[in-house]
């Protein structure tokens, strides 16, 4: 079976994108994992599939992590998906472009080389929770931005062993059974942070994570007083921006903006 694909990157967070609006493609988790494999496949943090939702009469974005498991949302993936979708839909040059995700409707706007997307209203954050790690107690903050995230503030994000500590936090029994992504955040200025993220499903550090960037910015506002918008430096060296409005104890009108770039297109044979 041959698959036509587009490879895209959102600030270093990379994806395989496939147009399956006709519904002919049926991929198993092991096939998705093979496509995302960096040695035997195309290589990506995840896969994005465009489908037609007849009930809602809209395009649906389905997101799969590189292990083949499906997740409800990927922020950088949604920005890449919007850029991928734009030339496929006649008359979609105007803003906003709207599509469905597992976390609800996303609206995308195109700002030159960058794409801005609406993010789902996050669930109420739980701040300053002590958890036990092999290195002792650690203060973490929890927030759900389409997927669950733990946010940890550190003095120097470059000195953190993200693979080791991130893996431990990801599997903490406190957040079982689904676990959580782990974000390590250094406050760089009055409206600027640096973030490194260990992503579940990828099971390792990624160069950027859109939902993690969003989670980190919102928690930085709650715990450290940073105002909207927050500029976020990610591992790839790129910067993203997160804007929001406070709504009581929560947030509304959360948005994520940053680059979304096509890398190449191609065709790959996938064994059945």
Residues placed in the known binding site for substrate: 13, 65, 75-76, 181, 199-200, 210-211
Residue 147 to residue 104: CA distance in whole angstroms: 12
| Partner residues linked to 99 by β-bridges | 106
Q: How crowded is residue 250: how many other Cβ atoms within 10 Å of its Cβ?
A: 17
Residue 96 to residue 166: CA distance in whole angstroms: 36
CA 87 from chain center: how many Å? 22
Q: Which residue has 């948005």 as its token pair?
A: 255
Residues 6+ apart with CB under 8 A from 228: 221, 242, 243, 244, 245
Residue from 61, 71, 73, 74 carrying the catalytic annotation: 74
Annotated binding site: 13, 65, 75-76, 181, 199-200, 210-211
Side-chain-side CA neighbours of residue 134 (13 Å): 7
Catalytic-residue membership of 80: no
Catalytic-residue membership of 74: yes
Distances (CA, A) of 193 to 167, 214, 225: 22, 11, 12
Residue 193 to residue 172: CA distance in whole angstroms: 25
**Rg over CA atoms, the chain:** 18
Residue from 143, 151, 209, 218 carrying the catalytic annotation: 209
Q: Could you tell me the end-to-end alpha-carbon distance of the chain, in angstroms, rounded to an integer? A: 7
Catalytic residues: 74, 209
């Amino acid at each position: 079976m041959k698959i036509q694909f587009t490879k895209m990157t959102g600030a270093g967070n990379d994806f395989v994108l496939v147009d399956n609006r006709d519904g002919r493609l049926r991929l198993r988790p092991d096939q998705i994992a093979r496509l995302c494999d960096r040695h035997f496949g195309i290589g990506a943090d995840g896969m994005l599939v465009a489908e037609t939702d007849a009930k809602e009469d809209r395009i649906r974005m389905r997101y799969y992590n590189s292990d083949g498991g499906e997740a409800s949302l990927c922020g950088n993936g949604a920005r890449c998906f919007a850029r991928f979708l734009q030339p496929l839909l006649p008359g979609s040059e105007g803003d906003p472009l709207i599509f469905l995700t597992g976390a609800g409707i996303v609206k995308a706007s195109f700002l030159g080389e960058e794409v801005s997307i609406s993010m789902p209203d996050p669930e109420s954050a739980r701040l300053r929770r002590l958890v036990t790690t092999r290195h002792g107690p650690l203060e973490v903050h929890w927030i759900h931005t389409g997927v669950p995230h733990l946010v940890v503030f550190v003095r120097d994000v470059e000195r953190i062993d993200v693979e080791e500590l991130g893996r431990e936090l990801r599997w903490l029994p406190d957040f079982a059974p689904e676990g959580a992504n782990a974000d390590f955040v250094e406050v760089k200025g009055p409206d600027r942070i640096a973030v490194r993220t260990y992503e579940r499903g990828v099971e390792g550090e990624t160069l950027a994570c859109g939902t993690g960037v969003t989670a980190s910015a919102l928690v930085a506002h709650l715990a450290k007083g940073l105002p909207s918008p927050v500029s976020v430096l990610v591992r790839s060296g790129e910067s993203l921006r997160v804007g929001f409005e406070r709504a009581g104890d929560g947030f509304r009108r959360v948005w994520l903006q940053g680059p979304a770039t096509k890398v190449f297109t191609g065709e790959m044979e996938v064994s059945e």
